[in-house]
Amino acid sequence: LQTRMQSLQPDPKAQYRSVYEALKKIVLTEGFWRPLRGINVTMLGAGPAHAMYFACYEKMKSSLSDTIQHGGNSHLANGIAGSVATLLHDAVMNPAEVVKQRMQMFNSPYKSVLACVRTVQRTEGLGAFYRSYTTQLTMNVPFQAIHFITYEFMQEQVNPRRDYNPCSHILSGAVAGAVAAAATTPLDVCKTLLNTQENMALSSVNISGHLSGMLNAFKTVYQLGGVWGYFRGVQARVIYQMPSTAIAWSVYEFFKYFLTKHRLDKRT
């Protein structure tokens, strides 16, 4: 839904006024499973990407907190650790995101993930899978910095003892995801344009070939939609990120608690 609603020059049949209308229209006209196209490639990349992401975050957060605040909770350390962890995460997830978004566009010509990968590689080269990588990082570094700082801040408020508390992890994760998603929506709109290379959008502003670079994307979005264009799909983005970050943090905190408890039990 987010990809469709962020489309800057959509086909008249793919214009939506709200998240609910978009979901209803896609299901009725394109089938029940259409909103889930490309989810398999996202799932394939998510495992190794998140493993590197959280491992890097914990290690850097611990090291930086010791240096900056002598073992205490440092928001600066949390932000830096989250930003660095994003470099590893996005190196895996950026190609998966390109494939997913191309498959989710209206009238997408790709029949499968493999067909999409082969066609993009043959017609645009391997660089197409990383065309939006710098924009992805430019978006995700502030997103993750805001995300981790907000999560740790919320934990200080609702779970100051830092015990394993599923409700506090879900609440903190949801709030952190919503705040970070809303703040970085303009960057996400630019990333979607770079990933999808919408022909109708680019031709309407006399751009031939491929659009590249964050600055060009920002200019194009403004030409096509003005200031509001930067916030297309903000509702869908927040709705998507809230459960996503809530689930990610609750699962991560559970396994962190389980493994730590298991290690302590073995020692005793």
- The answer as to whether 261 is a domain residue is yes
Can you tell me the distance from the alpha carbon of 244 to that of 10, in angstroms, rounded to the nearest whole number? Answer: 27
Residues whose CB falls within 8 Å of the CB of residue 18, separated by 6 or more in sequence, listed in order: 235
Flag whether 139 is in a domain. no
- 197 sits in the region (left: phi over 0; alpha: psi -120 to 50; else beta) called left
Q: What is the 3-state secondary structure (H, E, C) of the chain?
A: CHHHHCCCCCCHHHCCCCHHHHHHHHHHHHCCCHHHCCHHHHHHHHHHHHHHHHHHHHHHHHHHHHHHHCCCCCHHHHHHHHHHHHHHHHHHHHHHHHHHHHHHCCCCCCCCHHHHHHHHHHHHCHHHHHCCHHHHHHHHHHHHHHHHHHHHHHHHHHCCCCCCCHHHHHHHHHHHHHHHHHHCHHHHHHHHHHHHCCHHHHHHCCCCCCCCCHHHHHHHHHHHHHHHHCCCCHHHHHHHHHHHHHHHHHHHHHHHHHHHHHHHHHHC
Give the percent of the chain with pLDDT over 90: 19
Per-residue model confidence (pLDDT) at position 220: 84
Higher pLDDT, 191 or 154: 154
**65-69, 128-132, 203-207: least confidently modelled range:** 203-207
Between the ranges 101-110, 138-147, 156-165, 207-216, where is the mean pLDDT highest?
A: 156-165
Q: Would you say residue 134 has pLDDT above 90?
A: no
In a domain, 248, yes or no: yes
Q: Is residue 259 part of a domain?
A: yes
User: Does a structural domain hold residue 29?
Assistant: no
Question: pLDDT per residue over 156-195, tens digit each?
Answer: 999 998 899 999 999 999 999 999 999 989 888 887 777 7
Assess whether pLDDT exceeds 90 at residue 21: no
**What mean pLDDT do residues 202-223 have?**
75
The pLDDT-based confidence of 149 (bands split at 50, 70, 90) is very high
Sequence-separated (6 or more) residues with CB below 8 Å from residue 22: 1, 4, 5, 16, 236
Torsion of CA 86, 87, 89, 95, to 10 degrees: 130
Q: How many domains does the chain have?
A: 1
Is 246 inside any structural domain? yes
Contact 225, 15 (CB under 8 A): no
Instruction: Give a yes or no: residue 23 inside a domain.
Output: no
187 to 1, 18, 47, 88: CA distances (angstroms) = 17, 20, 25, 19
Residue at 106 is within a domain: no
* Tens digit of each residue's pLDDT (9 = 90 or more) over 68-124: 877 677 888 899 998 989 888 888 888 888 887 777 776 666 777 788 888 888 888
Per the prediction, the chain carries an average pLDDT of: 80
- For residue 262, the enclosing domain spans 239-267
